[in-house]
Amino acid sequence: MGGSHVEYGIVCGDRVIAAETIAVKAASLAEVLPQLESGILALAAKSHLELREMVGVAVGICAIVDSGGTVLATNGKYDDAVGFNFPQWSESKFQLRCRAENDTRLALLGEQFAGAAQGFEDAVLVTLGTGIGGAVLLGGRLLQSRGHKAGGLAGHLGVDWNGRICSCGNRGCAEAEASTASLDAICRERQRFAGSGLAGMAGTIDFQKLFAAADAGDALAHEILEHCLGVWSSLTVSLIHAYDPEVIVFGGGVMRRQEAILPAIREHVERHAWAKKGSVKIVPSMLGSTAALLGAVPLLRGGA
Amino acid sequence: MGGSHVEYGIVCGDRVIAAETIAVKAASLAEVLPQLESGILALAAKSHLELREMVGVAVGICAIVDSGGTVLATNGKYDDAVGFNFPQWSESKFQLRCRAENDTRLALLGEQFAGAAQGFEDAVLVTLGTGIGGAVLLGGRLLQSRGHKAGGLAGHLGVDWNGRICSCGNRGCAEAEASTASLDAICRERQRFAGSGLAGMAGTIDFQKLFAAADAGDALAHEILEHCLGVWSSLTVSLIHAYDPEVIVFGGGVMRRQEAILPAIREHVERHAWAKKGSVKIVPSMLGSTAALLGAVPLLRGGA
C-alpha cells in the first residue's frame, strides 16, 4: 500500500500468480480498503482459489507498524490508519490470519526470499524515490527496536551537518540533499539556475528531467547530478559502516537510470568503505514492486 | 585490553571485588599475556578465591573478535593477536571457560548490566577519545553481523561528504572531523591558527588544551569547539536514525568535559532528531573503564 497506488496479488511459492493495481487518490484506508476487499475476493475467484486455501494475508504499508500488525505512525499517507489493526480486519473480512509490516521492510524480505538479496543474511535495501527509504536485515531477520524505526530511516542519516533542512527536522539528511522531494528546490537554489537548461522545463524538476538535461549537455544539470551521486555514495558508505551488510539493494523510481548511478556508487565504495574490496555487493532491486508481494511468504512464515 | 593499559579484575554480582592495571608499551599479546596470567593468579590468591570457584573468564580487547573468541582483525594494537583464540588460552592456563568480545561492545554490556543503560533494551555506546568507537544493543543483544562490524563503526558514519579524509579511507567521518586523533590537524589547517592561542601550545593539541584555550577566551579555540560539538551532535542524530535507541551513552576520555558537551548534544537532538521529545536519553557513562569488567557477567551468562 503506497502513496500513489496499491498493489495486491496472490503468491504461491516464489511466484505471483495473479496481481492487480489500484490507483490511489486520497491515500486513506477509507478510500482503499473497500476496493481492496472486493479486489482480493475477485482475484481469488478469477484464480479459482478459495480463501480457505490461503495461508494468510500479508500487508505492507508506507507507515510504521508494530509486530502485532497495528499501524503506529504515518507520514502524510494513510493518516486514518493510525491505530488500525490489520490482523483483526483480515480475520473479520477473510477469516485469514494476517501480518502487517512497513512496505520497505516487506520488500527487503521479498528481495531476500527470491530477489537481489537471495543467499545473504545481512542486507540493506535503499529506495531512491520521492524520499529515501530503507530496511535492514541482520542474521536474516529485520532489525527490531522498541520504536520500530531501526533500519527504516536510511535516508535520514546525515551527509552534511551544515546542509539543507530536511522534512524530518534534521539538517543535511541524504533525503534533503538528493531525493525527488528535494530536487526541485536544490536546482532552484543554484545561482546559475536561471541560465541553465533546467530553467526552461515546465513544472517540478524530477530526476527524469535532470537526467534528460544532463544527457543534453547542460552543465548545471551535470553538476547537480554529480552532487546527488556524491550524496548517495557517501550515504552508502555510512550504511556499510552502520550495518556491515553483505549486500545493499537499490530500488525506487530513480533507479530507472541505474546504469548512470550504481557504477558511481560502486566505485566510491571500493575507494572509501572500510570493507574488503568487493565484499559488499551493490546491486539493483530484482523484483521492483513485486518484492513486497513476494515478501508475504517469509513474513507469514514468521521468519521476519 | 586497551592500547595504553590493560585492566583486569574479579567481579562478583554487579561489583568489582578486586582489580589491577597493567601499563602497556608495545600493545602486543607477547608483552601482555604473561603479566596478565600471573596477575590473575595473584589477584585470586589475594582475594582468597580458587580459580575453580570462578564462573569463567571474559576478555575485552580493542579488536574485532568472532563469536568463538578468536581475534579476526586489529588496527595497530595487538596485531599479534590475529588468529588467537582466547577460550583455548583460558582453558589451558586456568581451566576456565571463556568468552571474548570487542572492548567497546563489552563495555556497553556492562553499562546495560549495572550502569547508564540499565533498564533499556535498545542502547548505543559512543566513546569520544583518540578515535570514536561504538557499540549497539537492540532487544538487549549486541548487534551481530557476519563481518562482526555492525554497530562498531559509529565514528565512521559520514557527517560531511566533502570533508576530511579519515584514517579508515572514507571522507568526512565523524572521527576525521572531531576526535583526538584528528584535532591537532584540524586546528593547524585553520587560516587563523598562527595568530591564535593554540599556536603557542607545546606539542600535539588535544581536547584538554582546546578546552583550556577556549576557557581562556581564545576565539579560534571556541570556534573549533563549536565545530566539534556540531559534528558530535549531527553524528548523534544519525545514530538515533540508524538504530532507534532508547539511550545513547557517551564515554571516552573527551567526556572529562561532559558538562560542556552533553547539553549541546541534547539540545541539538531535541531540535533535529526524528523522535519524540525526550524519548532518547543522552547520558554519560556511569562506569567508565569499569564497564568492561562488569560486562563480564552478562557476557558469560551468554545473554550477549
The list of chain B residues with pLDDT below 70 reads 303-304
| C-alpha separations of B172 from B75, B180, B268 in Å | 20, 15, 20
Grid cell, residue B92, equals: 589451558
- Are the CB atoms for B97 and B286 separated by under 8 Å? no
Rounded Cα–Cα distance for residues B293 and A28 (Å): 53
Domain check: are A157 and A273 in the same one?
yes
Decide if A113 is inside a domain. Answer: no
- DSSP letter at A158 equals B
- The C-alpha torsion from B264 through B266 and B272 to B275, rounded to 10°, is 170
A9 contacts: CB under 8 Å, gap ≥ 6? A16, A17, A18, A19, A20, A43, A293
Per-residue pLDDT reduced to its tens digit, A94-132: 999 999 999 999 999 999 999 999 999 999 999 999 999
Question: Is residue B212 a part of any domain in this protein?
Answer: yes
Instruction: Categorise residue B282: left if φ over 0, alpha if ψ from -120 to 50, beta otherwise.
Output: beta
In a domain, A159, yes or no: yes
Tell whether A272 is within 8 A of chain B (Cβ). Answer: yes
Measured between CA atoms, how close is B108 to chain A, in angstroms? Answer: 17
| B35 shares its domain with B92 | yes
A168 contacts on B by Cβ (under 8 Å) = 274
How many angstroms separate the CA atoms of A65 and A182, rounded? 26
A144 and A257 both lie in a single domain: yes
Task: Please state, in angstroms and rounded to a whole number, the distance separating the CA atoms of residues B50 and B44.
Answer: 6
The verdict on residue B115 lying in a domain is: no
Give, as one character, the DSSP assignment of residue B143. Answer: -
- Residue A14 included in any domain: yes
| pLDDT for res B277 | 86
Residues B87 and B132 in one domain: no
Q: How far apart are CA B270 and CA B263, in angstroms?
A: 11
By residue range, what is the domain housing residue A271?
A: 120-284
Residue in chain A closest to B155 (alpha carbons) equals: A241
* Helix axes of B219-243 and B207-215: crossing angle, nearest 10 degrees: 130
- For residues B294 and B250, membership in a common domain is answered with no
Give pLDDT, residue B304: 44
Q: A103: closest CA among A33, A198, A228, A7?
A: A7
A206 lies in the same domain as A275 = yes
Q: Considering CB atoms only, which of B121, B151, B244 is closest to A149? A: B244
- H/E segment holding residue A234: helix A219-243
Instruction: State how far the Cα of B134 lies from the Cα of B72, in Å rounded to an integer.
Output: 18
On the question of pLDDT at A303 being above 80, the answer is no
Is some CB atom of chain B closer than 8 A to the CB atom of A124? no
- A294 lies in the same domain as A253: no
Q: Report chain A residues whose CB lies below 8 A from the CB of B237.
A: 158, 170
The answer to whether B274 faces chain A, any CB pair under 8 Å, is yes
pLDDT confidence tier of residue A302, bands split at 50, 70 and 90: confident
Q: What's the gap between Cα A73 and its chain centre?
A: 17
For residue A145, pLDDT over 60 is answered with yes
Please tell me the least confidently modeled range out of A174-178, A299-303, B87-91, B220-224.
A299-303
* Residues A227 and A82 placed together within one structural domain of the fold: no
pLDDT at position A75 is: 83
Residue B276: per-residue pLDDT:
86
**Domain match, A42 and A72 both:** yes
With CA atoms as reference, report the closest residue to B180 among B215, B205, B154: B205
CB contact (8 A) between residue A243 and residue B145: yes
**B114 lies in some domain:** no
Contact yes or no for A158 and B235 at CB 8 A = yes
**What pLDDT does B303 receive?**
47
User: What is the spatial distance between Cα A277 and Cα A261, in angstroms, rounded to a whole number?
Assistant: 19
Do residues B20 and B142 share a domain?
no
Give the pLDDT score at B143: 97
User: What is the CATH number for A280?
Assistant: 3.30.420.40
Domain total of chain A: 2
For residue A115, being part of any structural domain is answered with no
pLDDT at A17 over 80: yes
Confidence (pLDDT) at A280: 98
Give the pLDDT of residue B75.
83
Of B187, B178, B136, the C-alpha closest to B155 is B178
pTM for this structure?
Answer: 0.96
Grid look-up 527490531 returns A144
Tell which residue, B278, B84, B242, has the closest CA to residue B153. Answer: B242
Contact: A145, B243; criterion CB under 8 Å: yes
Q: Which SS3 state, helix, strand or coil, does residue B248 take?
A: strand
Residues B73 and B126 in one domain: no
In a domain, B141, yes or no: yes
- Take residue B303 and report the three cell numbers written for it: 545473554
A243–B contact, CB cutoff 8 A: yes
Across-strand partners of A141?
A: A138
pLDDT at A304 over 80: no
B263-288: pLDDT as tens digits: 999 999 999 999 888 899 999 999 99
For chain B, where are the alpha helices, taking DSSP H only? 29-46, 86-94, 103-114, 174-177, 180-188, 207-215, 219-243, 262-272, 290-294, 296-301
Name the residue of chain B whose CA is nearest to A230's CA.
Answer: B161
Give the pLDDT confidence score for residue B39 in this predicted structure. Answer: 97
Both B69 and B92 in one domain: the answer is yes
Residues 74-103 of B with CB under 8 A from A: none
